[in-house]
A and B are shown apart, each in its own frame.
Chain A
Amino acid sequence: MFQRISTYLYLRPRLSLALLLLPPLVWFLVVYIGSLLSMLVNSFFYLDGFTGQVVRQFTLDTYAKLFIPTNVQILSRTLFMALAVTLGCIVLAFPLSYYMARIASPRMKTFLYLAVTLPLWSSYVVRVYSWKLILAQEGIISWFARLLHLDGVLNWYLSSPLLGGPSLGISLTGVFLVFVYIWLPYMILPIQTALERVPKSLIEASSDLGASPAQTFRNVILPLAFPGVVAGSIFTFSLTLGDFIVPSLFGNSSFFIGKAVLTYQGTSGNIPLAAAFTMGPIVIMIVYLLIARRLGAFDAL
Chain B
Amino acid sequence: MRSKPSAQSSGEHAPWWLKLGAVGALLFLHIPLALIFLYAFTTDESGYTFPPPGLTLKWIPRALANPDMQAALLLTVKVAAVATVAALILGTLAAAAVYRYDFFGKETVSFMLILPLALPGIVTGIAIRSAISLLDIPFSFWTIVIGHATFCVVVVYNNVLARFRRSSGSMVEASMDLGANSFQTFRYVIFPNIGTALLAGGILAFSLSFDEVIVTTFTAGLQQTLPIWIFSQMLKPRNRPITNVTAMLVVVITAIPILIAQRISARGSDSEGATK
Contact = CB atoms under 8 A, between A and B. Distances in A.
Interface of A: 2-3, 5-7, 9-10, 13, 16-17, 20-21, 23-25, 27-28, 31-36, 38-39, 41-42, 54, 92-96, 98-100, 102-105, 112, 114-134, 136, 138-140, 142-143, 181, 184-185, 188, 200, 203, 207, 213, 238-239, 241-245, 248-249, 257-258, 261-262, 265, 271, 274-275, 278, 281-282, 285
A281 B120 contact: yes
Interface residues of B, number: 92
Nearest to B259: A118
A128 B39 CA distance: 14
Given A100-B22, A123-B251, A130-B33, 16 more contacts: A24-B91, A24-B113, A25-B109, A32-B115, A38-B134, A54-B133, A92-B21, A123-B250, A125-B247, A127-B33, A136-B47, A242-B119, A243-B122, A249-B234, A262-B122, A278-B122
Interface stretch (B55-63, B161-169, B189-197, B206-214): B206-214
Taking chain B's interface residues, is the majority helix, strand, or loop, or is none over half, making it mixed? helix
Contacts, number: 276
Contact of A133 (B11, B18, B48, B115): B48
Interface string B31-50: 01101100100000001111
A134 B112 contact: no
Contacts of A261: 122, 126
Interface in B213-227: 213-214, 217-218, 227
Contact of A117 (B26, B181, B235, B274): B274
A207 B2 CA distance: 9
A123 B227 contact: yes
Nearest to B266: A110
Nearest to A301: B275
Contacts of A134: 32, 35
Taking chain A's interface residues, is the majority helix, strand, or loop, or is none over half, making it mixed? helix
Contact of B213 (A120, A124, A242, A281): A124
A87 B266 CA distance: 33
Contact of A122 (B94, B123, B254): B254
A122 B32 CA distance: 12
Given A21-B93, A24-B153, A125-B213, A132 B48 contact: yes
Interface of B: 1, 8-12, 14, 17-22, 24-26, 28-30, 32-33, 35-36, 39, 47-51, 89-91, 93-94, 96-97, 100-101, 103, 109, 112-113, 115-116, 119-124, 126-131, 133-135, 146, 149-150, 153, 176, 181-184, 207, 210-214, 217-218, 227, 230-231, 234-235, 243, 247, 250-251, 254-255, 258-259, 262, 274, 276
